[in-house]
A and B are shown apart, each in its own frame.
Chain A
Amino acid sequence: MATVKLRDVKKSYGSVEVIKGVDIDINDGEFVVFVGPSGCGKSTLLRMIAGLEDITSGTLEIDGQVVNDLEPKNRGIAMVFQTYAIFPHMTVRENVAFGLTINKASNEEKEKKVAEAARVLQMEHLLDRRPSELSGGQRQRVAIGRAIVRDPKVFLFDEPLSNLDAALRMDMRMEIGKLHNSLAASMIYVTHDQVEAMTLADKIVVLKDGRVMQIGSPMELYHEPANLFVAGFLGAPSMNFIPVTVEAVEGENIAISSPSLDRISVPGKGRSFTVGQTATLGVRPQYIRPASGDSGMLHGKVALTERLGSETVVDVTLASGGTLIVALPEDKVLAEGTETSFDFDPAQAHLFPETP
C-alpha cells in the first residue's frame, strides 16, 4: 500500500518527446487505470514507474520517497506483462517463487508464500506444471502470483488481459477486481479496453499523445467529460458529435442550432462561447429517443437498424449530412428510409468549443 505521485514527468527518446509532462496522484490502495489510444504512451509511463525506462525529467514518488534513480527491485513494485513473461523452463511453483529464490529466501518461506498466492489465485492444482501445459488465463495467473509473492506496495499491469479471449477476459477482470479488494494494494492498470477501465477503476487517467486529457472516477469521466477527446473515447457506441453554431449566450445556458437541429438551449458548464462561433454538441446515443412525427428537435432519415436483442442501434443520416447513432433500450425496428425526428434532454448534452 502506498501513494504514487508523478510531477511534470517527461520522457524523450532522442529528440522525440513521447511523455510531455504528466501529473498524477494515486492514493493509498487506489485502483488507477491508464487508458488512451495506441501509441499514446501508456506503457511508457507505466514502465517509467516500474523503473524499466529512465525518467527524462520530473519526479516520481512512491510512498513519499523520490524513486527516480532507484533500481526496479527497490521501488516496491511488481509488474504483470501482457505477454505474461513467465519463465518457460520453470514449473509454476518455481516461477511464482522466482523473486524469493533470487533473494535467497528460506524454503519454508517460499513454501508458505507460494501456497498463499496459489490459494488467492485458486491454482494450487497447477503448481507442478510447466507453462507450456497451461492456458493463457492460467499463465497470466502465474504471472500475477509471482507479483503477489513480492508483496509490493504498488502492482503494475500492462494490458494483462489483451492476449486472452473475450470470455476469459471477463473472468480474469473480475478476479483482478477481487484481488484488489482482498489485497488492498495500490494498482496501476494499463488497458485500451474501456470496459476494463470503467469496471475496475477507482480513477481513470485518459492519455493522448503523451498528455493527460482528464483524471477522474469512471462516472465523472462518463458524465462530465472535460473535452471532446474524452467524450468520444469513453462510452459505446461513442458519443454523437453534431457541429452547431452558437446563437446566443444566455448566462449559464447557450443557445445553439444547426441545419438538422432546432434551436435549443444547453448548459455551458463554465466553458466560454461567443455568439456566432461554431461548436460541437455531444449527445450520447443512449439519451436520444424517437419523437412522434416531426415534433423532435433533430431531423434525419433512418439508414440502418441493428438489433442486438438487449438494445437497438439505429443509424440516422442527418438532414445536414453526417450521421447520428441512437441506442434504444428495447427491441424495435425503424423502417429504413423513413424521415424521423428525435428528442433528447438538453441537460444531458455537452457543448464543446472545439471541433473534432
Chain B
Amino acid sequence: MASKLTRSNRAGWIMAFPGIALMTLFIIVPFFLAFAFSLTNQRLASPNAVEYVGFENYSDLLGLAVFTLEPERDESGAVVRDEDGEIEYPRLRNFTRNNPDYPNLAGKREWFSWASGENRTVVLSSDVVFMKALVNTFTFVIFVAPIQAGLALCLALLINQKLRGINVFRTVYFMPVVVSIVVVSILWRFIYSPGDGLLNNALGWLTFGAFTPQDWLGNTSTALPAIMAMSIWQGVGFHMVIWLAGLQNISPTLYEAGNIEGANKWQTFRYITWPGLRNTAVLILIVITMQAFALFAQIDVMTSGGPLDSTQVLVFQAVERGYGKQDISGGSTISVILFVIVLTISLIQRYLTRER
C-alpha cells in the first residue's frame, strides 16, 4: 500500500512539475526578486556595483510633507498682492532646495495646495508622478469595480431568461472579452479620436450638431473617465458570465416557492436572488478589484499616462520606471507597494464579507 502511494505520488509530482516550475519561475521568483530589488539601487544595466539602500526607495516614493506658506509682507506688515489682486507667496523652492532649516522638505515638490485664510497650505511629495498614479489608480478602482459589477449583474439578469435567440445576446456581450485588450484599446482610440471620431460624430448626430467635438483622450478632465468607460465595456461580459453561473446555481424551486407566496419582481430579487448570489458577489468583488488595480494595457496604448499625468497608474509607472528609465529598483518598489495595497484590500473584503 505504502509503495503504491509513493509511486502514484511520484507520477503526480511529475505531472504537476511543468506547472509548478513555470509558476515558480514567472511568479514566485520574480515576487521575491522584486522585494529584494526594492531594497537596493539596482538598475537595468549599470557599471556601478549594486548597493543595499534600505527603505530609501520607499521613502522616495511615499515621502509626504505639509507646509504652510505665509504671504509676503511689505515693511508696514501689509500683504503683498500682484496686479490681479492675488496674494503673493514666497517661492516654494526657497524651502525645498538647499535650505538647512527645512530638512524634511528637501527635494520635495508641490503636489496640491489650498488657501486657508491668508496662508496657503501646500502638500509636498517626494514623487508627485507616483502620487498621481496612486490617486488615479484608486479613482479607477472606485468607479470601475462597482459600475462594472453592477452592469454585469444587470446583463446577467437580462440574459438569464428563456427567450428565443438569447444566445445571440450572450455572445454579443461576451465578445469584447475574447478580443485582446490591446486591439480593443486601439479601436477605442478611433472611437475617442478628436474632431471626427465615432463618439464625437454620434453625439453630434444625436444632438443635431449642437455638441462641440471633444478631444476625449487629450483632455485632463476626460482622459481617465474615457479609459474607465472603455474598460467597463471590455470587462463587463466576463463578469456577466460569472454572475450567470451564480444565477443558474439558485434552485428554481426557491423561485416557485416565492411565486406561490406572492413575491413581486423586486422582492424575488431581494429575498431569493441576491442572497443566493452572495458567494458569487464576493468572488466578483475581489476579482474586479484586483483586475482594476492591474490596469496597464489601455493606458499604454491609449495615453501613455498623459495628458499631464492625468492617466498615470501604478502598473504603468512600474513598467515605465523599470524598463523606460531602467530603474529596476524603483519599478520593483512600486510593484511591492501595489502588492501590499491589493493584498490589504482583498483581506479587508474577505473579512467584511465573511460568513457570519
- Could you tell me which A residues sit within 8 Å of B by CB distance? 50-52, 71-74, 77-79, 81, 83, 85-90, 98-99, 101-103, 146, 150
Contacts and interface: CB of A to CB of B under 8 A. Distances in A.
Contacts of A52: 256, 259-260
A51 B262 CA distance: 11
Contact of B253 (A72, A81, A103, A150): A81
Contacts of A81: 253, 256-257
A85 B251 contact: yes
Contacts of A103: 262
B261 A102 contact: yes
Interface string B240-258: 0000000000010110111
Nearest to A150: B261
Interface stretch (B64-72, B146-154, B270-278, B310-318): B270-278
B165 to A, nearest CB: 18
Given A87-B271, A87-B272, A89-B275, A98 B261 contact: yes
B262 A79 contact: no
Contacts of B253: 81, 83, 85
Nearest to A74: B262
B267 interface: yes
A99 B257 CA distance: 10
A85 B257 contact: yes
13 contacts: A51-B259, A51-B260, A52-B256, A52-B259, A74-B262, A78-B260, A81-B253, A81-B257, A85-B251, A85-B257, A102-B263, A146-B257, A146-B261
A71 B251 CA distance: 21
Nearest to A52: B256
Interface in B261-306: 261-263, 267, 271-272, 275-276, 278
Contacts of B256: 52, 79, 81, 85
Contacts, number: 58
A21 B278 CA distance: 44
A98 B254 CA distance: 12
A50 B262 CA distance: 12
A345 B246 CA distance: 63
B260 A73 contact: yes
A86 to B, nearest CB: 8
B250 to A, nearest CB: 10
B271 A98 contact: yes
A87 B254 contact: yes
B251 to A, nearest CB: 7
A52 B252 CA distance: 11
Contacts of A99: 261-262
B247 to A, nearest CB: 15
A77 to B, nearest CB: 7
The list of the 3 closest CB pairs from A to B, nearest first, reads: A73-B262, A89-B275, A85-B257
Contacts of A73: 259-262
A159 B32 CA distance: 59
A79 B267 contact: no
Given A87-B271, A98-B271, A72 B254 contact: no
Contacts of B278: 89
A98 B278 CA distance: 19
A79 B260 contact: yes
A47 to B, nearest CB: 8
Contact of B267 (A86, A90, A102, A150): A102
Contacts of A79: 256-257, 260
Nearest to B260: A72
A101 B267 CA distance: 10
Nearest to A143: B257
B262 A87 contact: no
B262 to A, nearest CB: 3
Contacts of B276: 88-89
Contacts of A50: 260
Contacts of A51: 259-260
A146 B254 CA distance: 13
A72 B272 contact: no
A87 B256 CA distance: 12
Contacts of B262: 71-74, 99, 102-103
Nearest to B268: A102
Contacts of B258: 102
Task: Indicate the member of A51, A85, A89 with the most B CB atoms within 10 Å.
Answer: A85
Contacts of A74: 262
